[in-house]
């Protein structure tokens, strides 16, 4: 069997072998880990910058689509101009049923025209006291350039 002296040699030689398996000192290991972390942070910064740019582009697309959605066609704008001229010729106030009859508009065309004019702030729509379902259209002449 092994003597005590040989056992001590075995334990000391095994501990020396463990220390020699790590070729890096603790400082070089820390530096290597720190360098890897720096590179990861740098990559994350680039990714955040890229995502910010994409977010800005997406916001601009959404704004463009919403403004396009809110914009009215040329035909509706022509009808709004005609309606404004008609109302101004009749003293600046006219009922919706009169506008519909004079302009020969369908119900949908009238509501689209009224909505466009209201959105642009060209007319004021008030309930008609004589007709529960009707409305009176008033023009603010300060906003209109005729």
**Which position has the higher pLDDT, 77 or 18?**
77
For 85, the token pair is: 């001229």
Instruction: Please state the rounded mean pLDDT for residues 117-125.
Output: 86
Higher pLDDT, 128 or 57: 57
Mean pLDDT calculated for residue range 97-125: 89
Question: Beta-carbon neighbour count of residue 139 at 10 Å?
Answer: 22
Distance CA 45, CA 67 (A): 33
pTM above threshold 0.75: no
Torsion sign across C-alpha atoms 99, 84, 110, 127: negative
Name the residue with higher pLDDT: 112 or 23: 112
Give the model's pLDDT for residue 43: 95
């Amino acid at each position: 069997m092994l003597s005590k002296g040989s056992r001590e040699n075995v334990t000391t030689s095994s501990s020396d072998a463990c220390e020699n398996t790590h070729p890096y000192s603790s400082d070089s290991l820390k530096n290597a880990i720190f360098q890897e972390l720096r590179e990861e942070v740098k990559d994350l910064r680039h990714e955040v910058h890229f995502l910010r740019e994409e977010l800005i582009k997406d916001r601009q697309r959404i704004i463009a689509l919403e403004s396009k959605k809110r914009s009215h066609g040329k035909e509706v704008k022509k009808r709004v101009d005609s309606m404004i001229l008609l109302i101004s010729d009749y003293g600046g106030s006219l009922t919706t049923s009169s506008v519909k009859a004079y302009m020969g508009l369908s119900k949908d065309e009238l509501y689209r025209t009224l909505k466009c004019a209201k959105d642009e702030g060209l007319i004021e729509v008030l309930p008609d006291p004589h007709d529960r379902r009707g409305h009176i259209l008033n023009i603010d002449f300060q906003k209109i350039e005729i």
